[in-house]
Amino acid sequence: MHNSAIAVENISVSYGAGASRVRALDGVTLSFRAGEMALVMGPSGSGKTTLLSVLGCLLTPDAGKVSVMGEMVTGLSEDSRGALRQKSIGYVFQAFRLFRSLNALENVMIALEIAARPRAEAKKAAIQSLESFGLAGKQGLKPDALSGGEKQRVALARALVNDPPIILADEPTASLDSRSGGQIAEMLMKIAQEQKRLVVVVSHDPRIAQFGSRIVKMQDGRVIEDLEVSKCAR
Ligand SMILES: Nc1ncnc2c1ncn2[C@@H]1O[C@H](COP(=O)(O)OP(=O)(O)O)[C@@H](O)[C@H]1O
Ligand SMILES: [Mg+2]
């Protein structure tokens, strides 16, 4: 489990009890390293979101071990786990999860305020992050005035503004048309390859498959395939 950005060993998660008990993850072992763009694919209900929640320390598995940036998560206090999450992981979601009443700049600054960075410094970093996603001219606009692709780029700027080594994205292209979905997928790929971060993208969108350096296929809570995609094959 050393040298990996995230490693999970034999993790299981069940929801509910008795007859309605659902085993969402069933003994999953995986390890991910920096620079990798891993796509977790599989049909609806196969356990992708549950897996991402465990990788992101948002959900504690019923059994198994989780380590993030070399730290064993299992057994950490709630506070320490929160601190590890805060410094290590940026999250991106299908529905963007932006604050409607805040403009693009404020939506990015929120992440820095949570990290308790001084306001002037936060503003500078947020502007830079928005610029890196081609949104320099849009910082004063609220989400309703932005296209879907622009909203997801604001969400990417927010996820990256704290410079986390890991980005986790759950169906980041599912609400987007092909063109902006492709752009977001390509940006995520560059974040992995050029910035040497670990990017894990959960998706059942086949259009995104070409952007992965690795494809993990899930079915019924298990990993049924785990393939490195060689660059020359693309
Ligand atoms: N909060 C929950 N309560 C009960 N069952 C859940 C909950 N979240 C997910 N499940 C069930 O766990 C299984 C895996 O779900 P999920 O991880 O969301 O899969 P996916 O993201 O691949 O669609 C499904 O059968 C789903 O219905
Ligand atoms: Mg899901």
Reported as a single tens digit per residue, the pLDDT across 173-190 is 999 999 999 999 999 999
To test the ligand 1 pocket, which listed residue (15, 20, 223) has its Cβ within 8 A of the most ligand atoms? 15
Tell me, what's the pLDDT at 233?
Answer: 46
Ligand 1 centroid to 51 CA: how many Å?
10
Ligand 1 centroid to 220 CA: how many Å?
10
As a whole number of angstroms, the distance between CA 194 and CA 153 comes to 17
> Closest Cα to atom 26, ligand 1: which residue?
45
Q: Which of 3-12, 111-120, 133-142, 195-204 has the lowest mean pLDDT?
A: 111-120
Q: Which residue has the higher pLDDT, 215 or 231?
A: 215
Which atom of ligand 1 lies closest to the CA of 25? 14
pTM over 0.75: yes
What CATH number should be reported for the domain whose range is 6-233?
3.40.50.300
Residues framing ligand 1 (Cβ under 6 A): 15-16, 22, 24, 42, 44-50
Task: Give tens-digit pLDDT for 76-116.
Answer: 999 999 999 999 999 999 989 999 999 999 999 998 887 77
Neighbours of 60 (CB within 10 A): 16
Which atom of ligand 1 lies closest to the CA of 43? 22
* Closest CA relative to residue 203, chosen from 225, 228, 179, 181: 181
